[in-house]
Amino acid sequence: MLTVKNLHKSYKVGKTKYEVLKGVSLEVNKGEFIAVMGSSGSGKTTLLNCISCYIPSDDGSILLGDIELAKLDEKSLSKIRNEKLGFVFQDFLLLDGLTVRENILLPAIIGGKINNQIEIRAEQLCDIFGIKSIQNKYPADISGGEKQRTAVARAIINNPLLILADEPTGNLDSKSSRAVISSFEQAKKSLGATILMVTHDSFAASFCDKVIVLKDGTVWRTLEKGTMNRLDFQDHLLSAISDMGKE
């Protein structure tokens, strides 16, 4: 589904060049729920922003199916973002001037695919994520958890190949975080969604099938949940992160 090979990205601040990604490679298969973890500055968010082509990468390849994203022109890239990718941001990025329902429908409106079917789907998503009662409210009138669930529903509305989520629980309390993670699980289970989530939260990551741990811009280790239950996997993650700190 998604193959990232030898991805490089650096930033220049004044005359100093900071290499953030130093050849990251990873693979995400259809239907997988994968987390990317790592300490602050390890390159998690940069990796996600490069995959979505929000920021241009320096080198390497990003294949979505058989499409090389980095080589696409602006127009094709917009089409891919609209049809094949879904995004969930840490600070939600809902438009304050639109209702919850309109925010969910936004990708479909942008793509010019608004019809009865998509409206019914929006209705269903509101139902699935428990936000039906607030669908006519504006973002300013709802809680952080509700905002993020709206953002998840928006990411799913166009039935994308891959959902990219950047610290989706970063701004939420534990109850709301749980609700958002449940919505991802729900999306995976009921809709067959594939999710790549950047997080620093081991609790959120413990719900994933696989966790890719980044360290200093490279993949340090990939941890598979396999047959482990969630609590054991969370312990496993914490111990791995603790090991990483010792190195």
Partner 1 sequence: MMSFSALYSKLRKKNIGQYTLLSCCCFFSVMLITSYIFMMRSPTILDVLPEGGDSRKQVMMIFVLAVIGCAVFTTYAAGLFFRQKSKETGVFLALGASKKQLKSELWKELSIISIISCGLGAILGIPLAYIIWSIFRLFIVDTEEMALNFDINSYSYIIIFSIYVIFMLFIMGYKSIMKTNIIDIIKQTHSAEPVHSVPKWFGLVGIILLILGGFCGYIAPSIFILGLHWYPPEGLTAIFYIPALIGLYMILLHTVSNGWNKRKKYKDIISVSMMKFQGRQTVRNMLVMTLLIAGAYFGSFYTPMLGTGAIMSFDDRPIDYAYHFRADQNIPKKDEVFKLADKYNVKITSWADVPMARLGVDGEMSVEKETSLGTTWESVYYNLLQSQIFLSKSSYEALTGEDININSGEIAGIMDTSGDGQGVFGGDVTLVTNTITGESWSFKPIEHLCNDILFGRYVVSDEDYQKIITGLPLDWQERMVFFNVENDEQTYDFAKALFNEIVDHSGKEVAVYDSFDPILKQVHEELYGYYFLDEQEPPNYDNRNSSDFRMYWQYMPQFRVLDKADFIKTTAVFLMLFIFISIICFVAVIVIAFTRCITIAISNKKVYDDLRHLGASNNYLNNCARSQVKKVFLVPIITGTSLIYIFYSMIMFFNDNRLTFYEIAGLLVCLVLIAIISFVLYLIYRLTLRKVLNILKI
110 binds partner 1 (CB under 8 A): yes
User: Minimal distance in Å, beta carbon 216 to partner 1?
Assistant: 21
Per CB under 8 A, the list member of 3, 39, 61, 78 interacting with partner 1 is 78
147 binds partner 1 (CB under 8 A): no
User: Minimal distance in Å, beta carbon 136 to partner 1?
Assistant: 13
Per CB under 8 A, which region of 28-36, 94-102, 128-136, 203-211 contacts partner 1?
94-102
CA distance 81 to 193: 15
20 neighbors 46 (Cβ within 8 angstroms): yes
219 binds partner 1 (CB under 8 A): no
CA distance 4 to 64: 9
Q: Which amino acid is at 153?
A: A
120 binds partner 1 (CB under 8 A): no
Per CB under 8 A, the list member of 19, 27, 58, 102 interacting with partner 1 is 102
CA distance 63 to 193: 18
Q: Which amino acid is at 70?
A: A
Q: Which is nearer to partner 1, 6 or 115 (CB)?
A: 115
Burial class (CB in 10 A: 0-12, 13-18, 19+), 129: buried
| 126 conformational bin, left if phi > 0, alpha if psi -120 to 50, beta if neither | alpha
Q: Which is nearer to partner 1, 102 or 185 (CB)?
A: 102
58 binds partner 1 (CB under 8 A): no
Q: Which is nearer to partner 1, 122 or 223 (CB)?
A: 122
- Nearest residue to 9 (alpha-carbon basis) of 57, 63, 65: 57
User: Minimal distance in Å, beta carbon 172 to partner 1?
Assistant: 18
Longest dimension (CA), the chain: 56
Nearest 5°: the CA angle 165, 170, 172 is: 115
For binding to partner 1 (CB under 8 A), which residues are involved? 49, 52, 54-56, 74-75, 78-83, 85, 87, 89, 93, 95-98, 102, 105-107, 109-112, 114-115, 119, 154
